[in-house]
Amino acid sequence: MASTADYFKLHFVVFLWGFTAILGLLISIPAVEMVLYRTLLAAIGLAVLITVTGNSFKVDKVDLIGILGTGFIVGIHWIAFFASAKVSNASVSLVGFATGSLWTAFLEPMISRTRVKTFEVVLGIIVVIGLYIIFSFDFQFPLGLILGIASGFTIALFTVINAKYVKRIHPYTITFLEMIGAFACTLMFLPFYKNIWATNQTLQLLPTAMDWFYICILSFVCSVYAYSAGIELLKRLSVFFVQLTSNLEPVYGIIMAVIIFGDTEKMKTEFYIGTAVIILAVIAHPLIKEKSIRDYKAPDQ
């Protein structure tokens, strides 16, 4: 039975997820170097968590390769997400990220070979309309939004892939291995990044004291704690309710960005109109999906 404290805890977890874009801007080193440290520290934190909770690190060879490969997608996701915030602002990256739920609606039928639902196609079109509104009025951060959308696509992709693993492997073990994969992905990407995109072809691998403080919050609080707390809440809250509440992540993130960064986060009216269209579509998805499931089951009751 869920308590009032559980509902507050869930909103706090979603708040932390939305706060990651803010931390990405507060940390002075570039996105790639930041992801390198985040994935390493998160893997260490999850290793400690698995040991303390008595869970196993062991998986078979086929699953090990698959999960590490999924970790590469996680690495791409985080690089795209934080790069989006760096080249634009937190609000833009969160809007692009918000498309993740609807990418899932299209990727899941493709990967699991199930039927595409009409209402999901309609919601996808609505999201495209929202993006068109943002782009069509002298939008200043097209690259930032494209990277944000890429982060939304990649989180949808690895979430759908994870669905087949979570049925037989503990989520902590999956995430630990994916953090190792994401760290390896970032490490392998560094030479290309250094020679093509890095400022003066130099890596910034020496964070300041404040950078370390924010990176630790990003790794241990927003990654290890928020993830484990979200899993724990599923014991008492329905998956539907958790999914519905998590759609508030971009809302919380954009509000925090405006409060913390002020004028640098303020956009033209059309940006907020387009954002509202996207967020409404994202929130509508689980509501319509739940109703369709209830309607399907109703004749048998």
The one-letter amino acid code at 67 reads: I
What's the rounded Cα separation, in Å, for the pair 199 and 189? Answer: 15
For residue 32, give both structure tokens. Answer: 């790639």
Domain ranges of the chain: 26-300
* Per-residue pLDDT, 240: 58
* Per-residue pLDDT, 162: 84
* Per-residue pLDDT, 70: 95
For residue 300, give both structure tokens. Answer: 């048998």
Q: Are 141 and 285 a contacting pair, CB within 8 Å?
A: no
**Residues 6 or more apart from 239 whose CB is under 8 A from it?**
none
pTM over 0.95? The answer is no
* 3 state SS of 60: coil
Going residue by residue through the chain, which has 301 residues, state the pLDDT in tens, using 9 for 90 and above: 678 888 899 899 989 988 999 999 999 999 999 999 999 999 999 999 999 999 999 999 999 999 999 999 999 999 999 999 999 988 889 888 888 877 877 888 888 777 777 887 788 788 878 888 887 766 788 999 999 999 989 988 988 888 788 888 888 899 899 999 999 999 999 999 999 889 888 999 999 999 999 999 999 999 899 878 887 787 787 655 776 677 778 888 888 988 888 877 777 788 889 888 888 887 887 788 778 777 766 655 5
* Per-residue pLDDT, 239: 59
Return the C-alpha torsion angle 135, 140, 143, 149, nearest 10: -50
* Per-residue pLDDT, 137: 64
